[in-house]
Structure 1
Amino acid sequence: MKILKTLSALFVAIIVAAACTSNPKGDEAKVSEAEEVKESEGMEISVSSDEADMEFVGTKPTGRHYGNIALTNGSIKVKDGKVTGGKFVFDLNEITITDLKDDQENHDKLVGHLKSDDFFDAENYPQVTFELVSVKSLNPEKSAENYDSYQNDMEQPAEDEKIMELPEFELEGATHEVTGNLTMRGKTLAITVPAKIEISENNVKAFTNFSIDRTKWGLMYGDESKAVDKAKDQFIYNKVGVGFNINATAENM
C-alpha cells in the first residue's frame, strides 16, 4: 500500500529551535488537558518516514531557524471519506535544520542543543508523539490543493538586511478542526488546530499551520517571560510555528 504524506505532523511539531527573527504568526493552537482516545474504525494506512512532511520555525529577535523532525512510524485511519484516527511518532534523534544544511558545524551544534536537557532532553525522552482524538468537519467543499510548503516564505534574510517580521501565516478557509494529544518531554496535552483536508477516492490532501507555546511542555530555555532586559535580545520567543503539508495517495483507499 502506498501513501505519500500524511496527516502527521500536526505536531509535533514542535520545535523550539533556538532561533530567530521575531515571533511567528499564525493560528495559535488551543491547548487543554489530554483527552481520551477512543477506538476508531476504518482502514488503517501505514506511513513511513519518507511519506510525512512536518516543518517548524523557531524565532528570537535576531534571527530564525526552521527544519524537520523525522517520522519513526505512523498510521492514519479513513472510513467513508473521513479521517477517523491516527497516531504518529517522531524521532528526536533525527532533527534536520533546513536553513543550516550547508553549514554542517553549526547545524550539528544547534541539533545537539535541541536534543539536550535545555530543550527536548532526547536522552530521556527520545520521541514526540501525536495521537488523533477527533477530526471535525467545518466546510468540506473547500479545496486544500493550492497550499504549499510552510517554509517557502521563510528564507533567511541576508546579513546586511534588516531583520523583518515574519509574514502572517493564519490559515484561511479551514475545512476541519483537528484535536489530538501531543506528547513531548514526558508531558501530554491536547491541541486543537484548524486544517484544510480534502479526501477523494484514493487521495488525501491536507495543510495546516499554527503555533504553540513550547513552555507548556516544559521547554523553558530562553523563556521570554523571564528575560530581565528584552532590549538585549537574550531570549527565545516561546511561540513556535508549525507547518504541515500532505498529498497522500493510497491503493484501495
Structure 2
Amino acid sequence: MFKSLLLFTTLLFTATVVTVPVDTAGSQVTWKGYKVTGSHEGTIAIQQGDLEFTDGQLTGGSFAIDMSSLKATDITGQGATKLEGHLKSDDFFGVANYPTAKLTITNVVSRGTPGEYRVTGDITIKETTKEIRFNTNVTESNGAYVATADIKLDRTDFDVRYGSGSFFDNLGDKTIYDEFDLNVTLVTKQ
C-alpha cells in the first residue's frame, strides 16, 4: 500500500521539463543606440539558443549572438559600412576579441497573465557579466514558441565608453548616450 501511494504521489508531482532549440533563422535581435543628434539601429544574428519549459511555462533558457553579424539598417552604403566597422572596433564591442555575447536566464516569475513573465538573467558582453531584469511575453503558434522582450542596457557596464558623456567632458553634439535597446524575438523549432 505504501509503495503504491509513493508511486502515485511521485507521478502526481512530476513536472514535464522540455528544452526546445531556437530557430536561428526565424529569430532576431534588433538594436537601437542614441546620440544627441539622433539614433542608429540595426540587427545582430542569433548564433544559437534554447528555451526551457516546465509544464508549458517558461522556466529557463539561453541564447548567444554573433557580434560579427552586427549590421546598421537605418543607413546604407559607405555610411553603414563605416558605422558597422566602428561598432565592431575596440572603441565599442571589440568583436575581434569578443565575437559572442550571451544571455542566460537564471530565474523566471509569472506576471499573473498567461505568457507574461518577469525574467532575471546574466548577460555577458566583452567578457563582463551583469545581472539584468526584463519582461517577456511567450506565445505558442503552430507547435513553436515565440518569446519577445525589450531590453535596455547601459553600455558602460561592459566597458564600452566611447563618446560617453558620463566619462568624457565637452563632447557637445558628439555625445553618444550610454543606454541602448535590444528587441529580442526568439522563435523555437517545431
TM-score (norm 1): 0.63
Aligned counterpart in structure 2 of residue 116 of structure 1, from 67, 89, 93: 89
Bigger relative contact order, structure 1 or 2 (CA pairs below 8 A, ≥6 apart): 1
- Structure 2 residue runs of 5 or longer lacking an equivalent are 1-15
Paired residue secondary structure (1:233): helix
Q: What is the correspondence of 1:150-189 to structure 2 with a 5 Å cutoff?
A: 175-189=116-130
Write 1 or 2 for the structure with the bigger share of strand.
Answer: 2
Percent pairwise identity: 30
Structure-2 separation of matches of 1:249 and 1:197: 11
Structure-1 separation of matches of 2:97 and 2:53: 34
Deviations 1:39-90 (CA, angstroms, capped at 9, x unpaired):
xx72222224212121111010112111111111111122211112212111
Paired residue secondary structure (2:139): strand
- Whether 1:214 and 2:155 are equivalent positions in the alignment is yes
Structure-1 separation of matches of 2:29 and 2:170: 34
Structure-1 separation of matches of 2:141 and 2:57: 10
- Whether 1:94 and 2:83 are equivalent positions in the alignment is no
In structure 2, the residue matched to 1:225 is 166
Residue identity opposite 2:143 in structure 1 = N
In structure 1, the residue matched to 2:13 is none
Preserved contact between residue 48 and residue 72 of structure 1 (Cα < 8 Å): no
Residue identity opposite 1:121 in structure 2 = G
1:250 shift after superposition: 4.8
- Structure 1 residue runs of 5 or longer lacking an equivalent are 1-40, 144-174
In structure 2, the residue matched to 1:162 is none
Rg larger for: 2
Preserved contact between residue 65 and residue 100 of structure 2 (Cα < 8 Å): yes
Residue identity opposite 1:80 in structure 2 = D
- Whether 1:55 and 2:42 are equivalent positions in the alignment is no
Superposed CA RMSD in Å reads 2.1
How many residues are matched? 175
In structure 2, the residue matched to 1:237 is 177
